[in-house]
Amino acid sequence: MTAAVMSWALSHLSQGQRVVLASVVETAGSVPGKVGARLAMASDGQWRGTVGGAGLEMKVLQRCREHLENHHYPFGEVMRYGLNKGAKGYEVTPLDSLCGGQVSLAIEVMIPMPHVLLMGGGHCGQAIAKTLDALGWHHSVHDTRSAYSGKEMYPNAQQRSSESVEGFLQKESLSSLSRFSDVLLLGHDWSEDEERLLRLLHIFNDAQATPDGQQGPRIGVIGSRSKWQAFEKVCIGQGIQQSLLDAVICPIGLNIGAESPEEIAVAVVAQIMAAFKGKDADAPTWRN
């Protein structure tokens, strides 16, 4: 059971979903689930495994849902339950049960490491890829120029593509794009980036009619505010919702005065890290 639950959890992590893992770590007396019993719940609400069933499991599942809704640290806790409505003791939550024992569970939120899709394999894309490699994060690359998306230039990329923009994105859906945490438009040609943006936002736009609440990746565009204003005008003209445009980050990267590709990479990856950890990058780091 443990292997099956962990395999299921890792599968959902690879799809870009957050997963909560609840594990029985200590028991005393009569309890429904023994040490090592586990269940996992993914951010789409599905879950697999068991920690013993009955009222205990209902409480644990509810706690898992609460952790999935919380995008700020801390990402986990240890909980102790007394399986008797009259249970007493330090940090013991009583349950309406007749088992009479106690069970302690470790609840851990597993967050998928960022997987960044670099749509444009030029100097900035290469510098960002090297920075992501240094952090142990994943990246994939798309560039219509095969020389800028090959293994020689991107040896550690999870996926490499030199298809046309249409050919690459026509196979994607909001669900499939969720394997990426971020999509960065870094093209050498502004018209390619405009086409990428339009096709991506049409995928998001069309998915608004679906009830599953599927979340897609963050979208960032390299360039100036004037470039973004031109893109925004074209997108609105094609029926893209303003709320989707407002969620696009342009220009990308923290404002640190970056100029070289390597400096831009630091600014961009730092911005992704702040979002990944739920931090406000503009807030002061000192404390009173």
Report the C-alpha gap between 250 and 220 in whole angstroms: 6
User: How many Å is the Cα radius of gyration of the chain?
Assistant: 23
The dihedral formed by the CA atoms of 254, 257, 259 and 261, expressed in degrees to the nearest 10: -30
Nearest Cα neighbor of 120 from 158, 148, 151 is 148
Is pLDDT at 271 greater than 80 in this prediction?
yes
Q: Per-residue pLDDT tens for 71-118?
A: 666 678 888 887 665 545 444 444 445 455 788 899 999 888 899 999
Write out the DSSP string of 174-223: HHHHTT-SEEEE--SSHHHHHHHHHHHHHHHHHHTT-TT-----EEEE-S
Q: What is the mean pLDDT of the chain?
A: 86
Q: Where are the beta strands (DSSP E) in the chain?
A: 19-28, 38-42, 47-49, 76-82, 93-94, 102-110, 115-119, 138-142, 160-161, 182-185, 218-221
* Domain positions in the chain: 2-110, 115-276
pLDDT at position 33 is 72
Q: Per-residue pLDDT tens for 23-61?
A: 999 888 777 778 889 999 998 889 999 988 777 888 899
pLDDT at position 209 is 47
Report the C-alpha gap between 288 and 207 in whole angstroms: 45
The whole-number average pLDDT for the span 111-135 is 95
Instruction: Tell me the two tokens of residue 114.
Output: 């960022």
**Which of 3.40.50.10860, 3.40.50.720, 3.40.50.300, 1.10.1040.10 is the CATH number of 115-276?**
3.40.50.720
Report the C-alpha gap between 83 and 94 in whole angstroms: 6
169: Cα separation from own chain's centroid: 20
pLDDT at position 74 is 62
Of 246 and 216, the one with more pLDDT: 246
pTM above 0.95, yes or no: no
Is pLDDT at 130 greater than 90 in this prediction?
yes
State percent of the chain over pLDDT 70.
87
Q: Per-residue pLDDT tens for 178-219?
A: 889 999 999 999 999 999 999 999 999 887 644 444 568 999
State percent of the chain over pLDDT 90.
60
